[in-house]
Amino acid sequence: MGIFSFFSKEKKETLDKGLSKTKENVFSKITRAIAGKSKVDDEVLDNLEEVLITSDVGVDTTLKIISRIEDRVARDKYVTTAELTAILREEIASLLTENHTEDLESFTVPEDKKPYVIMVVGVNGVGKTTTIGKLAYQFKKAGKNVCLGAADTFRAAAVEQLVIWSERVGVPIVKQKMGSDPASVAFDTLSSAKANGADVVIIDTAGRLHNKINLMNELTKIKNVMKKVVPDAPHEVLLVLDGSTGQNAFEQAKQFTAATEVNALAVTKLDGTAKGGVVIGISDHFRIPVKYIGLGEGMEDLQVFNKKEFVNSLFGE
Ligand SMILES: Nc1nc2c(ncn2[C@@H]2O[C@H](COP(=O)(O)OP(=O)(O)O)[C@@H](O)[C@H]2O)c(=O)[nH]1
Ligand SMILES: [Mg+2]
C-alpha cells in the first residue's frame, strides 16, 4: 500500500467519524421515511423531502434533489425503497459536481502569487482562529513558509489564541497590542511576510456583525491597506461558517457576501452536529466554493472539501 492510500485512508476515517452524527440522523430518518414501503411513491418522496429539510440541506436544494429523484422514478417506473439511499447519493453528488467550482486536491496555493494572502472573516465563535491554525499546519506540512497576522485586535484572548496556534504549528506571527488598528496589523504582517519571503499569509479579523456598515468599512479598510504592500491582495477572502448552526450559517453567508467580496468558504464543527447536511445546501446555493471543512478541534481536523467524498461518507459508497 502506497503512502497516498495511507493518507487517504486516514482522511476518510476522519471524515466518516466527523460526519457520524449527521449520518446516523439522516439514516434513521430515511429508515422512518420508508418504513413499511417497498416502492418509492409520492408519500415516500414527501417524507424524504422532510428528511432533507430537517437535516438543514435547505429548501431550495431539497426541492432540486426531490425533483431529480422524481424524474428518475418516473423514468425507471419501479424503484424500490432499498435503492433509495444509493439514488439519493448519486443525485446529490451529480447536483453538486455539475455546479461551478472544482474541488481542491490538497492544501495548496497558487505558485505565482507570493505571498498568497488569505483574509479570514466570519462572526465571533465560528472557528476562524482555529481554522487559521489548522490551515497554517497544513500549508507548513506542504512545504510552504507561512506567516500569521493577528488583526482581531478587539479581544485580548483572540490575539493570545492565535499566538498559541503559531507556537503549536511553529510559524511566525505578527501582532500588536489589543485595541490597535487592525489595518495597521495587516500592513505590518504583509510587510514582514514580503521581507521574509513568505509563501502564504493568513490574516485573522474580528467578527462583529451587529453593525453591517461598520464591518464593511473595516474590512474594506484592511483590504486597501494590504494593497499598499501587495497590490492584488487579498487573494482569498475566506468566510468561516459554523456548520452546527444550520440555517444561521446560511444567513451569515448571505450577509457577509453582501457586505464584502467573499471568494471561499470554510464550514466548521461538522463533528459536533447532526445537521451536516447544511454543507450540501451551502455548496449548492452560493456561487462560492466550499474549500475547507472542520471536523474537530485538533490540528489535523481540517480537510479540503471534496463533494464526492462528502456525499459518499454521508450515504455510504
Ligand atoms: N468540534 C469542533 N470545534 C471547533 C471546530 N472549529 C473550531 N472549533 C471550536 O470552536 C470554538 C471557537 O473557535 P474560534 O477559532 O475561537 O472562533 P473565532 O471566534 O471565529 O476565532 C473553539 O472552542 C474551537 O475549538 C471544529 O471543526 N470542530
Ligand atoms: Mg478568533
**What's the CA angle centered on 15, arms 206 and 85, to 5 degrees?**
120
- Ligand 1 centre to CA of 228 (Å) is 32
Average pLDDT over residues 238-245: 96
Confidence of residue 6 (pLDDT cuts 50, 70, 90): low
Compute the mean pLDDT over every residue in the chain, rounded to the nearest whole number. Answer: 91
125 is in an annotated binding site: yes
Residue with cell 467573499: 262
- Ligand 2 centre to CA of 1 (Å) is 40
Look at residue 243 and tell me whether its pLDDT is greater than 70.
Answer: yes
Pocket test for ligand 1, best of 119, 120, 166, 297 (most atoms within 8 A of CB): 297
Confidence of residue 101 (pLDDT cuts 50, 70, 90): confident
**91-104 burial code (b ≥16 CB/10 A, e <16):** bbbebbeeeebebb
Average pLDDT over residues 183-205: 97
- Ligand 2 centre to CA of 125 (Å) is 7
Grid coordinates of 181? 488598528
246 is in an annotated binding site: no
Look at residue 114 and tell me whether its pLDDT is greater than 80.
Answer: yes
Ligand nearest to the CA of 127: 1
- Residue with the larger pLDDT of the pair 260 and 60: 60
Average pLDDT over residues 152-178: 94
Residue type, 170: G
Average pLDDT over residues 44-67: 94
Atom 26 (ligand 1) nearest CA: 269
pLDDT at 210: 58
pLDDT at 209: 57
Confidence of residue 1 (pLDDT cuts 50, 70, 90): very low
Least confident of 114-123, 151-160, 165-174: 151-160
Binding-site residues, ligand 1, Cβ < 6 A: 122, 124-130, 161, 207, 268-269, 271-272, 294-297, 301
C-alpha–C-alpha distance, residues 12 and 113, integer Å? 31
Least confident of 32-41, 93-102, 299-308: 93-102
144 is in an annotated binding site: no
Look at residue 240 and tell me whether its pLDDT is greater than 80.
Answer: yes
H helices of the chain, in order, are 3-18, 20-33, 42-54, 59-76, 84-98, 128-141, 156-169, 182-195, 212-229, 247-259, 278-285, 307-315
CA 301 to ligand 1: nearest atom: 27
294 is in an annotated binding site: no
Pocket test for ligand 1, best of 121, 126, 130, 166 (most atoms within 8 A of CB): 130
Confidence of residue 97 (pLDDT cuts 50, 70, 90): confident
- Ligand 1 centre to CA of 95 (Å) is 30
pLDDT at 120: 97
79 CB-near residues (< 8 Å, 6+ apart)? 39, 40, 72, 73, 87
pLDDT at 131: 98
Look at residue 2 and tell me whether its pLDDT is greater than 70.
Answer: no
CA–centroid distance for 244 within its chain: 12
Least confident of 4-18, 102-116, 162-176: 4-18
CA 133 to ligand 1: nearest atom: 15
Instruction: Point out which residues pair with 120 in neighbouring strands.
Output: 204, 238
55 CB-near residues (< 8 Å, 6+ apart)? 22, 25, 26, 29, 274, 275, 276, 277
- Tell me the per-residue pLDDT of 287-317, one tens digit each, with 9 for 90 and over: 899 999 999 999 999 999 999 899 999 887 6
Average pLDDT over residues 236-246: 95
- Ligand 2 centre to CA of 126 (Å) is 8
208 is in an annotated binding site: yes
Grid coordinates of 250? 446560511
Look at residue 5 and tell me whether its pLDDT is greater than 70.
Answer: no
CA 240 to ligand 1: nearest atom: 20
Q: Spell out which residues have Cβ within 5 A of ligand 2, the ion.
A: 128-129, 158
CB 275 within 8 A of CB 29: no
- Ligand 1 centre to CA of 298 (Å) is 10
Average pLDDT over residues 62-89: 91
CA–centroid distance for 253 within its chain: 11
- Ligand 1 centre to CA of 61 (Å) is 27
Look at residue 119 and tell me whether its pLDDT is greater than 90.
Answer: yes
122 is in an annotated binding site: yes
The alpha carbon dihedral of 216, 218, 223, 224 has a sign of positive
304 is in an annotated binding site: no
153 CB-near residues (< 8 Å, 6+ apart)? 159, 176, 177, 178, 179, 180, 181, 182, 185, 206
